Structure formats: structure tokens, C-alpha cells
Amino acid sequence: MGLTDDENEAIKNQLQLEDYLKTRAVKHSEMDKQIASNLLDKHKAEKEIDKLLYKKSSQPLTNQSSDKQLVNSLIEALKSHEDGWLYDLIKNAKPLWLIGSQGSGKTNTAGAIALIRKYCFDAPIYQLIDRHATGENWEVWKLLDATLKAESEEEIGQALYDATDRWLQRIKEKPSTKQQIIIDEFTNLKKIDSCKEAAMKFFSMHLTDTRKGKEYFIGVNHYFTNESTVEGTFEARKSGTIQLKKFSANGETPLSRVQIVHGLVDENGNELEEVERTLPNWLEANNIYQHFNGKPIDFNHE
């Protein structure tokens, strides 16, 4: 006996319903898989983001720690050299004068000391005064990244006046931060009509005002006599400045030998006058710059 039309229709509807349910189940399964995949991708993405954020947040701390280690290693090397006189000299707020004949390496030593003060004592180089700033001395001076440079006679004359005015202003403001000024070949400036008056005032005031204004001073000169500086300032020069003499055996090659002429004292407070010392081999401007820019000095093998 065959099925009636109603029974056939019922079976057909039943089969269609089952097909629909199966299709929906498959779609739901695929959707569940896609959702799971999306969640997994999201989780992976969040982990990667977290890694990047952690790396980014920890980078300054890592750099900060590394910079501190570089500073500490250099300061330790300074303190360990001989009796620590070089560390005392660099940290001292008195104006520092490097004197010596041609070829004794005065400019290079000035640059090295300025860079140590910059990186270790947070004292950027604010002003550089040198008639040869972009000439023979440029290889050293470019490492300092000075804010202001004076090279021409007109620039130098104005820079000398600006410096004396700035010192007075800094003394009034009592700044908490330090900065530096460097002047090369001061003797020659006295012989230039447009600079002579400013140079005389500059020299007299630098004996006291640089220290009070928290401005590290480095001067480079062949001599430090009345003729090469300012007459009538002998006692002030002796008590208010540090004088370090450099040497060369042939007028071209600097020697490690130096002489503390005056301005420093020993651990008992006794004046060091014409005392022989040496500079470490690593005390070169480029070495100090590289130490803080990707090529640390290995003090154990220097």
C-alpha cells in the first residue's frame, strides 16, 4: 500500500527540517571555529602588544642603567689614577688653565675634560670662544656640541662681553644647574684692538664670577704670566685658578707628563705647587666621546 499525499508531504517536510538543522549546525560549528580562531588571534596580538609595550617601557630604564654604569666606570678610573688628583681637578669649580708649548695637546685635553664634565657632572658646553674653532681645532671642538661659538674677531669681542654679563645674571639667579665656557689662545685676544678691552674685563671677572655663577671655565694658553694675562692679578690667579702645564718632546707629540703649577691641594690641605703628575693614556677627547656613544673604554687594558 502506498503513502498518501499527506504522509509524503510530512516526510518531505521532515527531511527538509533535518537538512536545515544539519546545515545550521555546520554553520554554527564553522562560526564557533572562526570565533575561536579570532579569539586566539586576538590573544596572540595582545601578547605581542604587551611585549612591545614592556620593551618600550623598559628601554629608558635599561638605557638609564647603562649610562649610569658608564659614568661610574669613568669616575672610578679618575679616582684610581695616581692619587686621584685628576678627579679632584675635573670636579673643582675653580677656573682651569691649561698651558704649554705648541704640540703639547692642550686643546685635546681641554676637550676631554669638558666632555667628562658634560657627561658625568651634567654640565653642557654653553660657549666656545676660539679663533680656530672651525679650523685646526674643529676635530676636538665638534665633539662638544657647544650652544654658542665665537670665531671671528667681532664675534669674540661680543662673546667676551656677553659672558661677563651672563655671569652676573647667573650669580643673581643662583642657578641649580651648571654649564661650561671654553676659551682658546687668550693671549692673542689682548693684541686685537676690537677684543682687547673686553678681554681684560673678561679675565678679571672670570677669576671669581665663573665659580659663583656655576659655570665651569677652561682656558687654553701658551703662558700664564702678567704679559699673557692681565697685570696686577698675580695673587688672584694663584689663589683663584688651577694651572696645569703640559709638555711635548718635539713640538708635535704630547707627553703624558703634566705639572700641577698651582690651584690644587693634597688630602691634608697642603698646596700642590709644581708637582709632577701624568695623564692616563685614555684621556683623549675622542675616547671620552666614544665612551658615551657606543664604544666604552676598557679601563682594565688601558
pLDDT tens digits along 109-138: 999 999 999 999 999 999 999 988 888 899
Residue 214 and residue 289 in one domain? yes
Clarify whether residues 195 and 283 are in a common domain.
yes
Dist CA 207 CA 209 (whole Å): 6
Nearest 10 degrees: Cα torsion 187, 190, 191, 196: 160
State the CATH number of the domain containing residue 200. 3.40.50.300
pLDDT tier at 279 (50, 70, 90 boundaries)? very high
User: Based on the domain organization, do 71 and 107 belong to the same domain?
Assistant: no
Q: Grid coordinates 677684543 are at which residue?
A: 195
Quickly count: other Cβ atoms within 10 Å of residue 237's Cβ. 20
- Pair (23, 142) in one structural domain: no
- Which pTM was predicted? 0.78
pLDDT of residue 166: 96
Residues 6+ apart with CB under 8 A from 258: 244, 245, 246, 247, 276, 277, 278, 279
Residue 215 has pLDDT above 90, yes or no: yes
Closest CA to 108 of 139, 78, 82, 133: 139
Which range marks the domain in which residue 63 is found?
1-80
Nearest to 183 by CA among 215, 150, 209: 150
Q: Give dist(CA 185, CA 217) in Å, integer.
A: 14
Q: Tens of pLDDT along 156-185?
A: 999 999 999 999 999 999 999 999 999 998
- How many Å apart are CA 231 and CA 138, to the nearest integer? 31
Do residues 102 and 74 share a domain? no
Task: Tell me, yes or no, whether 68 and 104 share the same domain.
Answer: no
User: Per-residue pLDDT tens for 20-45?
Assistant: 677 776 676 677 677 767 767 766 76
> Are residues 281 and 171 both part of a single domain?
yes
The total domain count for the chain is 2
State the Rg of the chain over Cα: 36
Are 92 and 75 contained in the same domain?
no
